[in-house]
Structure 1
Amino acid sequence: MNRLFFQPHQAGLSKVEAAEHTLRDINPDVSFEIHNYNITTMDNFTHFMERISHGGLEEGKPVDLVLSCVDNFEARMAINTACNELGQIWMESGVSENAVSGHIQLIIPGETACFACAPPLVVAAKIDEKTLKREGVCAASLPTTMGVVAGILVQNVLKYLLKFGTVSYYLGYNAMQDFFPTMAMKANPQCDDRHCRRQQEEYRKKEAERPKDEVLVVEEEIVHEDNDWGIELVSEVTDEELMAASGPVPDLPEGITVAYTIPDKNQETADGESVGETEQSLEELMSQMKTM
């Protein structure tokens, strides 16, 4: 937040206040509601859940989507717990501590993996994440990486809310190799979050009650099924000849293959004789054939 929104004249303001001032200057038609507190404490967590449930544009309605842009594991887990308990769809995002990679993730409680379904190795091994950070050492920061991840997150939000394109369930960004891995993770039946397991059970019940679409299989009419004369259509070109007729394969990046190749113009025929180009006209060639 402070890397993308903070301006020098906003010194002394909290992150949320600075972000609101900057964003309001960019688009004054947007309504903002800011709360400067730690969502991991009991009182603030209760208020956080209340705003998710009743903070929509329509009074008393829940929000359409929650976006997570926090910078620590505890805050992510608090958002994850709240959304699992409320059945709220949300998108998680983050940038690595070395600032050269990041990710976004769409989380649908019960349907896709929540943030606790596949915890980081440090958490799965019961190691306190605070022990990994050295005192006085700040994680690396590259506004470019954060800007790329923020742009990908907003793009995914637009596709989800406006219903166009393909919404990514998980999309990573590796700045060192310009690599964008994407995948979809299913919910973990042994997830530590009991609300996630409850949401999974409710999702399974909904899927079981949903009417199945019948697939109509249209059988193609078979002509001359009896085939009394045993007529068959076979290719006069063998696989070996087909391979020999293939042209050179271009040098392609890893993971990409060609569906076919273009035969060489000067390639030899099946009899071993090469067919070269000629400057004779079609009429001249036809006259030669008549004399044969």
Structure 2
Amino acid sequence: FVFTMATVEELKLRVRELENELIKCKQKQYHVTFMLLMSKCELVYFLTLICMNFVLQMFVQKIRTFTVAVVGVGGVGSVTAEMLTRCGIGKLLLFDYDKVELANMNRLFFQPHQAGLSKVEAAEHTLRNINPDVSFETHNYNITTMENFTHFMDRISHGGLEEGKPVDLVLSCVDNFEARMAINTACNELGQIWMESGVSENAVSGHIQLIIPGETACFACAPPLVVAANIDEKTLKREGVCAASLPTTMGVVAGLLVQNVLKYLLKFGTVSYYLGYNAMQDFFPTMAMKANPQCNDRYCRRQQEEYKKQEAERPKVKVVEVEEEVVHEDNEWGIELVSEVTDAELQAASGSVPDLPEGITVAYTIPAKVSVVYSVKDIYSNV
């Protein structure tokens, strides 16, 4: 046989194809063998991963339907906004009137090249790069002025993911009493649920608090000591001096706040009404405060009346007490438990019963003192 060069090249190509097919067949065989040899635990592990991915997808789809307003984009607010953005929140409303300064670089989120920009503008630029699917709305103004307060209330009540509907939650991350009271007044008037957060001046403690108008204590129900002492908080801060701050404390408080937000919106776990954080002692106090009927905020008192009406109209749940079945000690063998102490011996061992009015009895009596005298003979006889 005479083979041309073209024929030889074709044969070599065919050999390579057959070799590749053989390798693929071996890989398939090894794959099937591997799957057959997998242990039950490994299969459960893979099934768990599939379930976790499914739950994660459901989580992302659910969180995308909510709108949260963050008031104050500082040390806590900026990190809070970033966490919510990474979680895939549907819409974020950011309120602040301050500018980024180099003095803020000891905190998280902001970067030196953003100095001079408004905090809401800088935050929006960063957050859009993190998750462009989130809808952002920024407002660079002070909410405590009359005109801005009216606009703030309008956006809270109509700035939801679907325009015209209210936001699902308002988060207070401000650092002064005046702004907190403005948020408190707006939410009480609108009946808007919100969460308050704060970090202490010494930067080693903080707290978060869920406030449901009419049901829990609002910020005016239990004013802080600064207000109770009639001290102007503006005198507590010096111009050009930044309050002490630790990125660790800011991050912990922001994490606690966002975790509480997720539990409230997605309805899982136990939502904290108040959760404190003391870094010096690793102490996390929790409590719940009821609304004050004599609160200075008239809208709070009005919300309390509405809450009482709703509770009265709500059907009462009847608690059925199940009586425990009496188990008799009778048995077919005639065995019974009998005390070896007679009533006379028990009475003698008890102390004297005082004279009491009719209907009053003592829970117990002091046993009478029993003096035992041993002789030397008795002692040595027991040795």
Same fold flag (TM > 0.5): yes
SS at match of 2:198: strand
Q: Which amino acid aligns with 1:215?
A: V
Q: Deviations over 1:145-169 (max 9, x none)?
A: 1011001100000000011111000
Using a 3 Å threshold, how does the CA distance of structure 1 residues 224 and 150 change in structure 2: closer, same or farther? closer
Does 2:215 align with 1:111? yes
1:200-219 map, 5 Å: 200-219=304-323
For 1:117 and 1:233, locate their aligned partners in 2 and report how far apart those are by CA, in whole Å.
Answer: 62
Larger Rg: 2
The more displaced of 61-70 and 215-224 is: 215-224
1:267-278 map, 5 Å: none
Aligned residues: 235
Aligned to 2:270: 166
For 2:132 and 2:339, locate their aligned partners in 1 and report how far apart those are by CA, in whole Å.
Answer: 72
TM-score, normalised relative to structure 1 = 0.75
Aligned to 1:21: 125
Aligned to 2:247: 143
For 1:233 and 1:109, locate their aligned partners in 2 and report how far apart those are by CA, in whole Å.
Answer: 62
Does 2:293 align with 1:189? yes
Aligned to 1:272: none
* Offset at residue 220 of structure 1 (A): 3.2
Aligned to 2:194: 90
Using a 3 Å threshold, how does the CA distance of structure 1 residues 232 and 202 change in structure 2: closer, same or farther? farther
Does 2:172 align with 1:68? yes
1:218-233 map, 5 Å: 218-224=322-328
* Offset at residue 129 of structure 1 (A): 1.3
For 1:46 and 1:231, locate their aligned partners in 2 and report how far apart those are by CA, in whole Å.
Answer: 81
Whether contact under 8 Å (1:103, 1:173) holds in the other structure is: yes
Whether contact under 8 Å (2:220, 2:297) holds in the other structure is: yes
For 2:202 and 2:339, locate their aligned partners in 1 and report how far apart those are by CA, in whole Å.
Answer: 61
* Offset at residue 57 of structure 1 (A): 0.6
* Offset at residue 131 of structure 1 (A): 2.0
Q: Runs (4+) of structure 1 moved beyond 4 Å?
A: 223-227, 229-235
Does 2:150 align with 1:46? yes
Q: Deviations over 1:228-252 (max 9, x none)?
A: x9955779xxxxxxxxxxxxxxxxx
Whether contact under 8 Å (1:110, 1:197) holds in the other structure is: yes
Aligned to 1:30: 134
Using a 3 Å threshold, how does the CA distance of structure 1 residues 234 and 22 change in structure 2: closer, same or farther? farther
Superposed CA RMSD: 2.4
Identity between Structure 1 and Structure 2 (%): 90
Q: Deviations over 1:126-151 (max 9, x none)?
A: 22111222344321011111011001
Whether contact under 8 Å (1:5, 1:18) holds in the other structure is: no
Aligned to 1:77: 181
For 2:178 and 2:328, locate their aligned partners in 1 and report how far apart those are by CA, in whole Å.
Answer: 71
1:150-161 map, 5 Å: 150-161=254-265
For 2:207 and 2:179, locate their aligned partners in 1 and report how far apart those are by CA, in whole Å.
Answer: 17
Aligned to 1:279: none
TM-score, normalised relative to structure 2 = 0.58
SS at match of 2:171: strand
For 2:127 and 2:108, locate their aligned partners in 1 and report how far apart those are by CA, in whole Å.
Answer: 11
The more displaced of 214-223 and 197-206 is: 214-223
SS at match of 1:33: strand
For 1:24 and 1:12, locate their aligned partners in 2 and report how far apart those are by CA, in whole Å.
Answer: 19
Q: Deviations over 1:45-91 (max 9, x none)?
A: 00000001001111211010001111111011100000000000000
* Offset at residue 101 of structure 1 (A): 0.7
* Offset at residue 190 of structure 1 (A): 1.3
For 1:195 and 1:17, locate their aligned partners in 2 and report how far apart those are by CA, in whole Å.
Answer: 33
Q: Which amino acid aligns with 2:322?
A: V
* Offset at residue 222 of structure 1 (A): 3.1
For 2:304 and 2:335, locate their aligned partners in 1 and report how far apart those are by CA, in whole Å.
Answer: 58
For 2:327 and 2:246, locate their aligned partners in 1 and report how far apart those are by CA, in whole Å.
Answer: 67
